[in-house]
Amino acid sequence: MELLGRVSYGRLATSMRAMPFVAPARHIVLGRGVVLRIHRGFGYHRACNGAVVAYGADNFNSGGRAMWSVQFTGTAEIVQPADEELRLFGDEPFQADGERFEPVYMRIEPQFVTVHTLDYLSEQPNRHVA
């Protein structure tokens, strides 16, 4: 959960009418749970509410030499965060796929968590010597 607090966005995954999907989501970590903010217009919250979902985030675009990825599964529940929790999300996007962004929030209590790390040497040997 500490790693998730280092980034703001991740990917929500589940299925809707037997078709899998992955959607971008803004997240905040609250205790042992995670609250997501997604666009209501996608309609994904209807498929997720009360269902087991997967969520993942990473620091792959950080440019660092030590990268990590966190994935977890848990049951999603639509919630209305308190005002102080809403402030933690920061500004909302203006649009999502060309339409006005309308937030919906879901809380997930992670049940199964996996962390993967990729560490690179600070100096990698040149394997293409002529």
* Distance, CA of 123 to CA of 130 (rounded, Å): 19
Q: Closest by alpha carbon to 1, among 38, 28, 24, 25?
A: 28
Return the pLDDT at 123: 58
* pTM of the entire predicted model: 0.87
* pLDDT at site 34: 97
All residue ranges of the chain with pLDDT < 70 are 121-130
Q: Give the pLDDT score at 125.
A: 55
pLDDT more than 70, % of the chain? 92
